[in-house]
Amino acid sequence: MGRKGAVLAVLILGIFTGIISCKDDDDVPAQGVIPENLTIDANVATDGSGLVEITPAAENAARFVVNFEEGADAVVVTNGETASYQYGTEGIATYEITVTAYSLGGGLIRSTISVEVEVTVDPNEPLFGSWVMANESGSLGVGPAPGDTSWFAIDGVGLVQRSCYFDDTYVFGEDGSFTNNLGGETWLEGWQSGVADACGAPVGPHDGSVSATFSYDPSAGTLTLNGAGAFLGLPKAVNAGELPNVDVPDSITYQVTLSEDGSAMDVVIESGTGVYWQYKMVKGDGSDLEIGGDPLETIYTNLVWSDEFDVDGAPDPANWTYDLGAGGWGNGESQTYTDNPENVRVEDGMLKITAIGSGGPTGVIHYYDDITLVATGGETSVIEDFEGTPPAFTGFGGANSTVVDNPDASGENTSSKVGESLKNFGAEGWAGSYFDVAAPLDMTTYSTIRVKTWSPATGAVVRLKLENQADAGEFVQVDATTTVAEEWETLTFDFSSQSPTGTYNRVVLFFDFGVSPTGTAAYTSARIKSEDLFEFTYGRVEIRAKLPSAGGTWPALWLLGGNFAEIGWPDCGELDIMEHVGNNSNVVSSAIHYPENFAGNAITDARPLSTATTEFHNYTMEWTPDSIKFVVDDELVHLSFENNMSTPFNSDFFFIMNIAMGGTLGGAIDPAFTEDTMEVDYIRVYQ
């Protein structure tokens, strides 16, 4: 136990020596020589540690038994040896210590002394040792208030993707030192590495090399790290804002709450104004990280439906029909789905769904930059200029956005980074993308928004829409039209006539609004479904499959509610037995979407699977009125959901199997992509 230093005067309040012989005490056997001249040397530590050392001596003594306090084990020493004991009760207290000297024959002499001891507990003591981020969904998140991680919360997929981060240790030393031990790899964001977020070698000054200290104020619930580059949770979240938009500070102060047993710690930091990063940490060194739960004990053993894919040709029309077309239905994907044999066929006892790249152009590209609020008096406030941490874009209808180097740094825009909007050939006319902002836009002070745009043609309609991310029905929107081709211009969107007063914290942009670009699809694939052919409620599903590996592929084995056509998504519910992305090929995930949790807030989890793309594996879902569980290869349950009658998961669902390309989960498509295939050996339903 660590202690804070303190000066203490040692007071021996009294010494009483009693000599007991076989003649004077009928309880002591009459045998042997009696020890004589018992002396006790007492040393009480003056550093507040509560340590007391007793060195007894006596003539004719073979051993000494030292009793420090009632209930504690006695300490046995011989002549010249020291007995040590550490008192643990905080404060100043007087203790009686009894020393009994024994001769070889059993004679004894006893003495009792009183000592005054001060114990002062170091307020930093609860932190001493190593801590790691809790290896569980939701342990890392950000939102508009403490306890609210609605903007981002790590899920099971993220836990696996960032496994190099969840074994990082944060070490608090008894000497007041603090160390980030990141090992050979940690999770790096683009502002650190200059490339896409991924595991990589730690980058200074946040590489653990800094000499740092810490201080903890339990009454205020604050923890301060001193040393530029020392951090908890994420290096980018500091008190003044987020790196790299602010300077690396010399110290960071966090709000912390320790659990009663001291094994867990909740950490909150307001990064700038109204942006709260939140971490859950637990004591440990990261050596016991595990993913998975208990074995699945199935209650369903009767096979009621299957497709073994043992007849070559098109998939069995009694079991399967097709989704056709482009756009990805809201996920910003790049493929067009077909029923062509080159994209979907049964061959050699396998269903083969193949995504193919044409090598041609992908669609129409626009660029945009410097999205800026403008007040009536001319005052401005920049919403986004893409020079710092890129916003998290979400594409829909077959369009998506990313941040790129400015392809034409001339004219009205010479900045280095800009937004790029890609609207794929065959995308919906309403395709676009959006990003969320940390705080609602002040549309009372600022009634106009200016956006720099670069268009390949004149006359393209650009729609700017402001939404409430919690209520998409609360919005305002304005259109503008490009007037020049292949050069930058500034478009103005005047919202004053709409008198916007809502909560607008989402920025949505549509380029070439109302137009579906024509051209050869850059990627084709297939999506087959059992809708209106086979639908069921409850059961155990097994699908044996081998997955594609190319960057940008996004295969999925999943189900939608049979009432999808009537009530839409997410009201119908969605059960993702298996999702996989080629850009993270050693991980498979499962997800549950329904009105309370959908899209980025879905209930998800994942598990590592190093042979997902080279070997066949069984992907299983057990669906009952009480629970929904997901398993790989009949091993441990990696996601379990408590079902009840309030969810959509108590009526018929149908199967979907597909490969998407790119989009919100698939990510960047390998420029050299030609084709890749998902093979399905069988699909079976037991009830």
Task: Indicate which residues carry an active-site annotation.
Answer: 574, 579
Closest CA to 543 of 309, 293, 320: 309
Strands 637-642 and 264-270: unpaired
Q: 653-661 and 527-529: which strand pairing?
A: antiparallel
The candidate with the shortest Cα–Cα distance to 122, out of 273, 263, 245, 3, is: 3
**Run of H or E including 347:** strand 344-347
> In 3D, which of 370, 339, 349 has the Cα closest to residue 528?
339
Please state the three-class secondary structure of 609-655 as a single string.
Answer: CCCCCCCCEEEEEEECCCEEEEEECCCEEEEEEECCCCCCCCCCEEE
At residue 556, the 3 state secondary structure works out as: strand
Q: What CA–CA distance (Å, rounded) separates 274 from 413?
A: 31
SS3 annotation, 282-342 = EECCCCCCCCCCCECCCCCCCEEEEECCCCCECCCCCCCEEECEECHHHCCECEEECCCCC
Triad 7, 13, 15: Cα angle to 5°? 130
For residue 244, whether the previous peptide bond is cis, meaning omega lies within 30 degrees of 0, is yes
For the chain, the helix, strand and coil percentages under 3-state DSSP, each to the nearest 5: 5, 50, 45
8-state DSSP, 666? H
Q: Are 494 and 457 in contact (CB under 8 A)?
A: no
What are the phi and psi torsion angles at 184 (to 5°)? Answer: -75, -25
What would the DSSP string read from start to end of 143-196? ESBTTB--SEE--HHHHHHTTTTTT-EEEE-TTSEEEEE--S-EEE-HHHHSSS
Q: Positive or negative, the Cα torsion across 594, 600, 601, 602?
A: positive
Taking CA 175 as the corner, what is the angle to CA 170 and CA 181, rounded to the nearest 5 degrees?
20
E strand residue ranges, 358-505: 363-375, 380-384, 394-396, 399-405, 417-424, 432-436, 446-454, 461-468, 471-481, 488-494
Going by C-beta distance under 8 Å and a sequence separation of 6 or more, which residues neighbour residue 679? 350, 351, 352, 545, 546, 616
Structure tokens at 372: 């800026």
| Dihedral (Cα; 250, 251, 252, 255), 10-degree rounding | -170
d(CA 324, CA 679): 20
CA gap 559, 535 in Å, rounded? 10
